[in-house]
Amino acid sequence: MAQSARFSRLEPDTRKAHLVAATLRCLKVHGFQGASIRKICAEAGVSVGLINHHYGGKSELVAEAYVSVTQRVMGLMREAMEAAEPEARAQLSAFFRASFSSELLDPELLEAWLAFWGAVKTSDAIHRAHDKSYGEYRSLLAQSLAQLAEEQGWRDFDAELAAIGLSALLDGLWLESGLDATTFTPEQGVQICEAWVDGLQLGGYRRFVEAAPVS
């Protein structure tokens, strides 16, 4: 009870960060199905009633954790790109290096991603969090790919479709790294992504042509 009283006096952002951290620890140990509200409460040292006061249930709390993690990831991506040269290829290279940085390959972060992905279809709240975060992620890729197309003079290039393909490649590499970090090195992960963009520049961009409008 004393712990819950102290928790309630914390600033709202601090309370949320505390609950999100406890949620991530429970997801790591128990997975989505096993991470009950009671277990999260025990991990955070608060009462069930206090969590119910802030969230409509476990799904909303996990969705909040999902958003928190993706904001951390997007912040790292944006910082890396802002520090790079403004040309599109340099921006994409910075994105790749950030993707395989020690911060994003942190085993705890990768385990959290696996838990989130496994929970996306179980809850509308988590599904919305996923759609929002991946929309932002793909948008960042699409902007750089559209800039690359403009710099290269590619006509009718569908940057949104290309971003879906590139993000799928990155997701697959993250997943493989999370399952077995010895499969490839971070440098090789960057190399694979750079080769994908090389393929675009060698003519693969023609595979990503915008569909003609229906008359």
1-54 — its CATH code?
Answer: 1.10.10
State the Cα–Cα distance between residues 40 and 37, nearest whole angstrom. 5
The answer to whether the Cα torsion of 106, 107, 109, 110 is positive or negative is: positive
Across-strand partners of 209?
157
Judge contact between 213 and 146, C-beta under 8 A: no
Radius of gyration of the chain (CA): 20
Most confident range, picked from 25-29, 43-47, 71-75, 106-110: 71-75
Alpha helices per DSSP H over the chain: 2-8, 12-34, 37-44, 48-54, 58-82, 88-99, 107-119, 124-152, 159-179, 186-201
Summarize pLDDT for 134-187 with one digit per residue, the tens. Answer: 999 999 999 999 999 999 999 999 999 999 999 999 999 988 988 888 999 999
CA nearest to 170, candidates 145, 204, 202: 145
pLDDT of the residue at 2: 45
59 in helix, strand or coil?
helix
Domain ranges of the chain: 1-54, 66-207
Query: Looking at 53-57, 117-121, 146-150, 161-165, which range is the least confident one?
Result: 53-57
Q: Dihedrals φ, ψ of 157, to 5°?
A: -75, 130
The C-alpha atoms of residue 114 and residue 91 are separated, in whole angstroms, by 27
Amino acid letter, residue 122 = T
CATH-assigned architecture of domain 66-207: Orthogonal Bundle (1.10)
Q: Mean pLDDT across the chain, nearest whole number? A: 87
pLDDT cut 90: percent of the chain above it: 47
Predicted confidence (pLDDT) at residue 87 exceeds the cutoff of 70: yes
Q: Most confidently modeled of 113-117, 125-129, 188-192? A: 188-192
Cβ-based neighbours of 150, under 8 Å, separated by 6 or more: 88
- 203 pLDDT above the threshold of 70: yes
Position 30 confidence tier, pLDDT thresholds 50, 70, 90: confident
The confidence score (pLDDT) of residue 3 equals: 52
